[in-house]
Amino acid sequence: MPTVEFDTAELMRLVGKKMPLDELEYKAAMLGTSVEQATEDKMVVEVFPNRPDMLSVEGFARALRNFIGSGGYKEYKAVDSPLELKVDKSVKGIRPYVVSAAIKNIKITDEVLISIMQVQEALHSSHGRKRAKVAIGIHDMDKTTPPYEYKAVKPNSMHFVPLDYSEGMSLKEVLEKHPKGEKYRHIIHKKELYPVILDKEGVVSLPPIINAERTRVTSSTKNLFIEMTGTNKRALQQTLNIVATSLADRGGEIVAVKVGGERMPSLKPEVMRIRANYAKMLLGVDMEGKNLEKLLGKMGYGLKNASETVLDVLVPPYRSDVLHPMDIVEDLAIAYGYENFAPKETDMATVGEELEFEAYSSKIRNLMIGLGFQEIVSFALTNEDALKKAGLVDTNTAVRIKNPRTVDFTLVRPSLIPGMLDTLAYNKKKRIPQKLFELDDVVAGKKDYANRRRLCFCILDWEVNFSQAQSVVESLLGNIKVGIKLRGMKAETFIPGRCAEIVSGKDRIGILGEVHPQVLENFGIEYPVAMAELDIGRKKPV
């Protein structure tokens, strides 16, 4: 979890109330953060990943101010302007999405400069997946000449002076010589074209690497131009709202920018409808009328409409973590105070024990660990592209999410193989060999969909073959007394002639083989991989 450090005096000033350190620490902890250190000089806080809006001192102060009852719901607006950021089609397939906003009439003090740098790095590390998903650029707008353009160009076609340098470099040289280029070049260096933000004078930014020195933000800056690029538009919009509202809390005026014809940022609050008795049903506490509105305000929410049956709650634009009415109920519990809930004895005492099938799964886990494998846990949701990359061409049988929140998660996984390959891709810089396994549920079927417990394991090494995966399967199933035989088959995921289905009795319970080079290339995996996937829900120990 990301850890951030705030100047205690600056935090108190933004909260608008001076509190004893022990009270400040207690309130912050009750708000749902972990305070690691609190002194007169600084406060070190561990912020949970679901609250990226609290990674800046402004956002943390806003949450704390609301929580102690000094704030409440606040409406943010972006004023119209002629500013425009054109988006060229060349960025598609390179780094396809960009968002933008401007902040005018902001006083840049040393504290504001520190906060800007801190929130950028914190959001890059967490929400932005180390700049791969989201990269933030903040510039002195008065040092730029609109209109702006986002496009992809050849690595040696443009030169600019990067931040902290005095001499110009080509885009390619920045990736090779600049410290930030060396650190983040893996994101774009294999692309034929590099993404750039331009104005009339040239390069403003080479995302996700570095800004131009000429647009550096200083204590004399009054107006800011914000641009963010990445691979997930929703994540970009959320991050833009977090940064823009934080700077607005510093006294800046949010100014809209037209990006590819779309007005940004969109600061309209989401209206989430919940049943009036929903909180009482889940928490056992009657929260109605003014008391309910007060509790919502303590967490930054507003109340648009309230009737005997439903509530229309206003979710502020910086709260990217609120996805379901349950999230609002959780915040109501925090606002009410967990210490204020009275414990109640249950009407009936029962004794729990592990389900037989879970004990069976635990036995398989222990066997895999004994065979030298390390367990992973991947996402239960996936998307069509991930399945196709893994060679699972029939995506029509997968369960589709009716209202997906992101393009990354549009299907319920029908197989553990894509998640395993994704994990290998993320760990390709780690030492080899790598022996991984996952034991978890998938949703499989054609019409009669059902949860199936599956085991997937892989071996990545300089040299690896079918026999190594076969020996693991035979050793594992031999230990749980399941007899099997192998039968040759063809599958897009595996190399022809080096793939077999695993059969027990009359049932096909799995597949194993050497992963096809094209599949490895799809995921950027540079070493051979042998893999197997077994449906352990079909056979139990005898």
Q: What is the pLDDT of residues 275-291, one digit of tens each?
A: 988 988 898 888 776 78
* Mean pLDDT of the 444-472 span: 88
Find where tokens 């810089």 sit. Answer: 429
pLDDT surpasses 50 at 1: yes
Q: Radius of gyration over alpha carbons of the chain, in Å?
A: 27
314 or 18: whose pLDDT is higher?
314
Mean pLDDT of the chain, nearest integer: 91
Greatest pairwise CA separation for the chain in angstroms: 77
Whole-number pLDDT of residue 308 = 84
What pLDDT score was predicted for residue 286? 81
Distance CA 260, CA 491 (A): 42
Can you give the pLDDT at residue 539? Answer: 41
Extended beta strands in 308-382, E state: 310-315, 374-375, 381-382
Find how far residue 87's CA is from the centre of its chain. 24
Place of tokens 């690896």: 464
Least confident window among 368-372, 394-398, 433-437, 530-534:
394-398
pLDDT of residue 355: 86
**Helix/strand/coil (H, E, C) string of 11-77?**
HHHHHCCCCCHHHHHHHHHHCCCEEEEECCCEEEEECCCCCHHHCCHHHHHHHHHHHCCCCCCCCCC
Q: Which amino acid is at 33?
A: T
Task: Judge if pTM exceeds 0.75.
Answer: no
Alpha helices (H) along 86-207: 110-125, 171-177, 179-184
Structure tokens at 351: 């004794």
Task: Give Cα separations from 433 to 184, 364, 372, 381, 526 (angstroms).
Answer: 25, 22, 11, 28, 12
pLDDT tens profile 186-231: 999 999 999 999 999 999 999 999 999 999 999 999 999 999 999 9
Cα of first residue to Cα of last residue in the chain, in angstroms, is 44
For residues 256-270, average pLDDT: 96
> Up-side HSE of residue 222: CA atoms within 13 Å toward CB?
2
Mean pLDDT along residues 295-315: 92
Q: Picking from 153-157, 241-245, 408-412, which range would have the lowest pLDDT averaged per residue?
A: 408-412
Most confident of 14-28, 237-251, 429-443, 514-528: 237-251
DSSP bridge pairs for 272: 313
Q: Which of 517, 512, 467 is nearest to 489 (CA)?
A: 512
Domains of the chain with bracketed CATH: 3-67 (3.30.56.10), 84-264 (3.50.40.10), 270-336 (3.30.56.10), 356-535 (3.30.930.10)
Contact 232, 211 (CB under 8 A): no
Give residue 34's pLDDT band: very low, low, confident or very high (50, 70, 90).
confident
Query: What digits encode the pLDDT tens for the residues 414-441?
Result: 999 999 999 999 888 888 899 999 999 9
Query: What is residue 289's predicted lDDT score, i.e. its pLDDT?
Result: 67
Mean pLDDT along residues 157-168? 95
Residue keyed to tokens 């915040």 = 331
Helix pair angle (57-67, 289-298), 10° resolution: 160
Nearest alpha-carbon partner for 282 in 341, 339, 351: 341
According to the model, what pLDDT value does residue 328 have?
Answer: 95
520/381 Cα distance (integer angstroms):
21
Q: Given this model, what pLDDT does residue 542 score?
A: 30
pLDDT in the model for residue 541: 36
Q: Which residues is 437 bridged to in the sheet?
A: 375, 457
pLDDT, one tens digit per residue, over 88-146 is 999 999 999 999 999 999 999 999 999 999 999 999 988 899 999 999 999 999 999 99
